[in-house]
Amino acid sequence: MILKVKKVIYPKNPEADYKGFVIMFALLIEKQTDIMVKGSGLPLCSGTVFDAEGEFKKDKYGEAYNVTGFLPVIGVDEKSIIDAICSITEEDTEIAEAVYSKYKAESIEKLDAEPKLLLNLKGICPRKKRRAYYKYIENRLSIKYMRELKKCGIPTYMAVKLINAHKDGALTTAKEHAYQMCEVCNVNFKTVDALIKKNGLKSSYTEKVYAALYDVFLQAENGGPLFGSVSGHCCVSVQDWIEMAASTLKVSSQGEKDKFISLARKYVLQHKVYLDRDSDNTIYATREKTYWAETNTAQYIVSLLKANDTSNASNLDSEIAIMEEKVGFSLTNEQRNAVETALNNLISVITGGPGTGKSTILNFIRTIYAKKNTKGKILLLAPTGKAARRMQETTGCRSLTIHRGLQLKVDNAGEFGEPIPIDADFILIDEISMLDIFIAEKLFKSIKPGTKVVLVGDVDQLPSVGAGAVLDDLIDSNIIPLARLTQAKRQAGDSHIILNSFLMKNGNYDLEYADDFILDVTDNFEQAAEEVDKIFLKEVKRVGINNVVMLSPYRKKGTATSVEDFNTRIHDQVNPPIEGKPYMYSKGTKYREGDKVMQTSNTNDVSNGDVGYITEISGGKVTIDFDGRVVEYDKNDMDNVVLAYATTVHKSQGSEYKVVIFNIQNEHGMLKKRNLIYTAVTRAKEKVYIVGSKKALVDSINHGTTGEDRRRTLLAHRIKLLCEQN
């Protein structure tokens, strides 16, 4: 609708470049009536006319039009048009004047219809024209395209990806080549197929087959009905790939089968898919992006292995003895071997569970290296903010997240850009079981050959959220020097958490229960929810909200102990609403000052999984403190935030809490796995509550990582091949 600014209520004294939340009265041109309008970055100058998109909503202050996007309405005189083109393209007047000289008063209309006209301007630097073209789409047409795509029934998250990928071709793709959205938007076949049928979109049969073939890879990596409860695969056997895609399309007749196979061959030949024969003589198919991630990672690792080691690793026995005397205890043979393995090799892996001394030997390794290589630069990295802070606490040295260490920037499509080269001679990386193959590729690419690298992780934990099994593959290659820590000293009064975690990972369900490891048997989700709530509130009162977490296998609402159900239910009890207390409403939740929240996507300021507290809500902005890193959010940013009193086991990796409450029921079905419950239990430092069914607990421990559960990857195979070739 067309609106005209009449009176700005907030902010009272805006700066010239103010882009924050705005509340105003505006004239609704069509009806010549005044309405309340709210939104971010709205024009502030009285009399300005703009074309807004949004919806009317009511709150305690009354009804207001909430703007989700807008375009300025531009005058038809020469100066207005030239100024507008300069503003939109973020270029000087050269481009704008060239456009106006050709199209006069129709300049904006022409560019809106065909922004590629900017690329056809004569006598202007090609790079400048390309910049102007992309900025025109980003600053003006993205809103227009979003509107048109929404009319086609395309959800916002898909529309954003379409616009980022295809610019002014986004609408054509959606309308005429709709099945391409599977690959462009990384969306499953079922979703796109439903959109096509519901909204009358078009696409060719070839595109439909390609979408079904791509969908198998998508489900293999991210989960889906074709692969049951196992996800994170980097490849699929060719036989499974063809059969699964054919079943998606319900291919039945011989003629359909022949046509389908012919198109599958074309898909491979177009380099959309790479085929490899593994050591088991099975031919596997891998999508292009994942193929290069695995191939490049293997090449980077082998380059690190083959480089010359210029570090000083002499007289380790005497240096270890000095450290032992300093800390007041002796290393076990396993721990000593781990220290020597790390210092004697350019790249090494150390794996072990809780209580085996990983933190202790990290201190030994770092201290001895620093003493013997006084000019060597040392860098400590971990996948998450919490893991990095824990590493810093145990070593006394500054530690960074991998994303911050590599200075990974997130683009408009949510993808990470290229890493910077790491300026370090010695790198210690903790919690590497959390690394997916795509972050691993960027990490190893950034490490220069000759750098000493120590990779530390617990191979019995859950694998990464994203595709790959990096730690498993490094070990399975039998190429990377490896030290295993299997022994945990247990003395009187020691933690039952450590004891039971060892029993669990070895398939023993005869656990020892005590005051620090409690089984609370419940018959169903509702009864479990009552117990979980009671325990949570009791422990929060005892040790504080920051030291307690409820972990669940389920995230989405639907069962009483899911993450979303628990967070909704417990919210008002741990941070009750108070009259006059500021709040912001986002995606069904009223966020208040003091709320514990989690970031759910990567940005340049915050990583996916980071937990913080809301410290202030004011003027349509929310301030969140992530352990000293303060970030300001607007309403749109809050779409990527959730309450964090409970979280999934996957999201808890890299974190530690004094108290962990974990629910496991018979109804959790395929989620009952040994590595899930092992990961949940080992997040606790002082006390564990397992609430639920004892049978479900036993079933989980019995359900170890079998061949069927293992992720299918080719990284280990690629490392072996490259080493053999060299």
Which position has the higher pLDDT, 162 or 228? 162
For 538, 550, 560, 636, the CA distances from 563, given in Å and listed in that order, are: 19, 8, 9, 22
pLDDT tens for residues 37-49?
998 778 887 777 7
At 171, which helix (H) or strand (E)?
Answer: helix 170-176
Q: What is the DSSP letter of 237?
A: E
Q: Which residues contact residue 156 at a Cβ distance below 8 angstroms, ignoring those fewer than 6 apart? A: 146, 150
Which H or E element spans position 283?
strand 283-287
Q: Report the half-sphere exposure of 286 (CA within 13 A, side-chain side).
A: 27
29, 2 contact by CB (below 8 A): yes
Look at 379 and 2; give whichever has higher pLDDT: 379
The answer to whether 666 and 696 have CB atoms below 8 angstroms apart is yes
Amino acid at 242: I
> Which three-class secondary structure state does DSSP give residue 425?
coil
Among the listed residues 463, 661, 678, 433, the one whose alpha carbon sits nearest the alpha carbon of residue 552: 661
Element (H, E) at 400: strand 399-401
**Which of 627, 695, 686 has its CA nearest to residue 660?**
686
Which 3 state secondary structure label does DSSP give 336?
helix
Give how far the C-alpha of residue 564 lies from the chain's centroid of Cα atoms, to the nearest Å: 18
Report CA-CA distances (Å) from 555 to 19, 77, 644, 650.
Answer: 34, 55, 11, 10
Which pLDDT belongs to residue 372?
Answer: 92
Write the single-letter amino acid at 332: T
pLDDT of residue 173: 95
Q: How far apart are CA 703 and CA 680, in angstroms?
A: 15
Task: Quickly list DSSP for 57-121.
Answer: EEETTEEEEEEEEEEEPPPSSHHHHHHHHHHHHT--HHHHHHHHHHHGGGHHHHHHH-GGGGGG-
Q: What is the spatial distance between Cα 271 and Cα 23, in angstroms, rounded to a whole number?
A: 52
Residue 594 has pLDDT above 60, yes or no: yes
Are the C-beta atoms of 636 and 160 separated by less than 8 Å?
no
Distances (CA, A) of 428 to 442, 447, 608: 16, 12, 22
Cα separation of 415 and 212, whole Å?
23
Q: How confident is the model at residue 1 (pLDDT cuts 50, 70, 90)?
A: confident
Give tens-digit pLDDT for 665-708.
Answer: 877 766 778 888 999 999 999 999 999 889 989 988 887 655 56
Rg of the chain (C-alpha set):
29
**3-state DSSP percent of the chain in helix, strand and coil, to 5:** 45, 20, 35
Q: pLDDT tens for residues 297-356?
A: 999 999 999 998 888 888 899 999 999 999 888 999 999 999 999 999 999 999 998 888
Contact between residue 405 and residue 416 where contact means Cβ atoms under 8 Å apart? no
Q: CB under 8 Å to 350, separation ≥6 — which residues? A: 338, 341, 342, 358, 361, 454, 455, 456, 457, 482, 483, 485
> CA 85 to CA 139: how far, in whole Å?
10
Asked which of 48-57, 188-197, 245-254, 305-314 is least confident by mean pLDDT, the reply is 48-57
Q: In whole angstroms, give the CA distance from residue 479 to residue 345.
A: 12
**pLDDT for res 587:** 80
pLDDT above 90 covers a percentage of the chain that reads: 49
pLDDT band at residue 16 using 50, 70 and 90 as cut-offs: low
Look at residue 706 in the predicted model and tell me its pLDDT. 53
CB 330 within 8 A of CB 489: no
Cα four-point dihedral sign 225, 230, 234, 236? negative
pLDDT category of residue 103 using cuts at 50, 70 and 90: very high
CA distances from 136 to 18, 77, 90, 102, 108 (A): 21, 20, 8, 17, 10
The mean of the pLDDT values for the chain is 88
pLDDT class of 294 with cuts at 50, 70, 90: very high
* Residue 484, strand partner residues: 351
Tokens (6 digits) for 505: 């990972």
pLDDT digits (tens, 9 = 90+) for 522-578: 888 899 899 999 999 999 999 999 999 999 988 887 788 889 999 999 999 999 988
Q: Is the pLDDT of residue 482 over 70?
A: yes
Secondary structure class of 165 (helix, strand, coil): helix
pLDDT band of residue 17 (cuts 50, 70, 90) is low
| Bridge partners of residue 662, in order along the sequence | 551, 690
pLDDT given at position 491: 46
Total Cβ atoms within 10 A of residue 367: 18
Largest Cα span, the chain? 88
DSSP 556: S
Compute the C-alpha angle 134/140/143, nearest 5°.
115
Structure tokens at 568: 């909704």
Distance CA 143, CA 69 (A): 6
Tokens (6 digits) for 35:
């309405």
Distance CA 315, CA 309 (A): 16
Look up residue 220 and give its two tokens.
């293999």
**Would strands 21-28 and 49-59 be described as parallel, antiparallel, or unpaired?**
unpaired
CB 517 within 8 A of CB 660: no
What span, in angstroms and rounded, lies between the C-alpha atoms of 13 and 473?
A: 58
The residue with tokens 């106006």 is 100
Answer yes or no: is pLDDT of 492 > 50: no
Which of 185-189, 451-455, 577-581 shows the lowest per-residue confidence on average (mean pLDDT)?
A: 577-581
Structure tokens at 98: 């060239």
Q: Report the distance separating Cα 342 and Cα 358, nearest Å.
A: 12
Q: Where are the alpha helices (H) located in 420-469, listed in sequence order?
A: 437-446
